[in-house]
Structures are given as C-alpha cells and as structure tokens.
Structure 1
C-alpha cells in the first residue's frame, strides 16, 4: 500500500492535475493514453509520488471500466474514473522538472508484468455514480 495521500474524489484529482506545469522532454510525453513503459524508460530520478487513487479501505477494487462514449481503456480520450479500473489501482507521480502529473499502475498477467503510464489531463477526469 502506498504511503502517499489518498485522493478519494474526481474533484481532488482534478485539482492536483490543474497544478501548473511546463514542457518537458521526458519519455512520458508519449503517454497520452495508457502506454507500456519499461523500468528503463521510467524517469525515476525525476518523478516523486504525489498521491494514490488506491482506496485503503478496499481489499479488492473493481476491474469494471467506465467508457460511456465507447472509448477503449488505452485511448487518450478515455475518461479518468477514479473508482474504476485501472485508475483505482494507480499512483500519481509528479515530475520534479516540469510538475506534470502522470498516473502509473502495473498490470499483472499470467507470465508478465506490464508497467503502464498515462499523463494526467484534468479535462479527462470525470464524475461517476456508483
């Protein structure tokens, strides 16, 4: 479990995402939608954990996705729904160079581990009702 502060609402995540940032040339610029990113591509020296979307009260968060407009999970236009997969299994990182925020989660398959990243755009954070 992450020691970062838990952001329980879309408004809290949107406020964090609206933190001013500048242009950066790091490897995460290509991550408009969920992209696989290897450990060697992850700019660890320039990123620090800012928050988590993992609810500490939930043992097993849902794998249900939220795509009301027919997007796919890896689409840059896909909504960021904090209580839905994969966002409910993410940590939020901030670049120390440009202050851009990026979401990161790790997908585990039968024979693989796949780290994924998505730059955080406040305009894609959505409210959902459960």
Structure 2
C-alpha cells in the first residue's frame, strides 16, 4: 500500500508541486480542475503514485461529503477535504514530466466502474475534522 499522507503533508506536497509546475505539459491537455472520468488520452505511464489519503487504520472511511457554499462534487472550486468522500479514498499521483499532482480513485456502481481524476490545487485543500 502507498504511504499515507495526512492533510499537512499533502498540502506541503501540493504547494511544492504548484511551484515547480509552471510549464504546459501533455497531462494538462484535458482540463481536470474538477472531478472527471479519466480521459482515454491520458498516458498512464506518465504518472507515478506517491501516496494515499486513505488511512491504514480506517477500513471503512465515511461517505459524507464536504461541500460548503453551494459547491457540488463536480465543481472546479469544490474544496479538497482529505477526511471526506471521495478524497478519503484517493491515491495521490504525480506527473513524472511536469510534477503536477492529481487525485485518482475508482467510482463503482452496480453496473459500472469509473476511474476518476482531479488536479490538485493547494489553495483548495481544507483539513476539516469529521463531525463527532
């Protein structure tokens, strides 16, 4: 299993990645600011998994979502809240070329599986505690 990244470590990695990732790259051909089904054009070999937001000691993380200010799951400006769904089930991937970070997870339903991806923007990361 990939190394668990707590919110502080994840935010630090995201800030560093944003500082380095200023040039255009093939990984940015399709806008991925909000959740998207993974484009077929995305070159899987260009990415490396660097961590996970799924804690080892949490066998069934919450399905509760954190969507303040009328944001939706699909919104480009929706907060990235690592303790909430779907982020608590995400792997953190990095483009080996430009060093940008992406979140990826598999959405599963009764008759389908959808690999989803979202670009990480450090300013959207919020470490919001779960309700008691």
Q: Distance in 1 between matches of 2:52 and 2:96?
A: 17
- Give the CA deviation at 1:45: 1.1
Given that 2:83 and 2:127 are in contact with CA atoms closer than 8 Å, whether structure 1 keeps it comes out as: no
Given that 1:94 and 1:100 are in contact with CA atoms closer than 8 Å, whether structure 2 keeps it comes out as: yes
Query: Which ranges in structure 2 are unaligned for 5 or more consecutive residues?
Result: none
Q: Is 2:38 the partner of 1:37?
A: yes
TM-score (norm 2): 0.89
* 4+ residue runs over 6 A deviation: none
Change (3 A) 1:45 1:126: same
Change (3 A) 1:36 1:119: same
Q: Distance in 2 between matches of 1:127 and 1:26?
A: 27
TM-score (norm 1): 0.90
Query: Which ranges in structure 1 are unaligned for 5 or more consecutive residues?
Result: none
Change (3 A) 1:61 1:49: same
SS at match of 1:12: helix
Given that 1:27 and 1:43 are in contact with CA atoms closer than 8 Å, whether structure 2 keeps it comes out as: no
- Give the CA deviation at 1:28: 6.0
- Give the CA deviation at 1:91: 0.2
Q: Is 2:41 the partner of 1:80?
A: no
How many residues end up aligned between the 2 structures?
126
Q: Distance in 2 between matches of 1:28 and 1:80?
A: 22
Q: Distance in 2 between matches of 1:78 and 1:116?
A: 15
Residue in 1 that maps onto 2:67: 67
- Give the CA deviation at 1:42: 3.3
Q: Is 2:27 the partner of 1:26?
A: yes
Given that 1:80 and 1:87 are in contact with CA atoms closer than 8 Å, whether structure 2 keeps it comes out as: yes
Given that 2:48 and 2:96 are in contact with CA atoms closer than 8 Å, whether structure 1 keeps it comes out as: yes
Given that 1:31 and 1:117 are in contact with CA atoms closer than 8 Å, whether structure 2 keeps it comes out as: yes
Q: Distance in 1 between matches of 2:26 and 2:10?
A: 24
Q: Distance in 2 between matches of 1:28 and 1:116?
A: 16
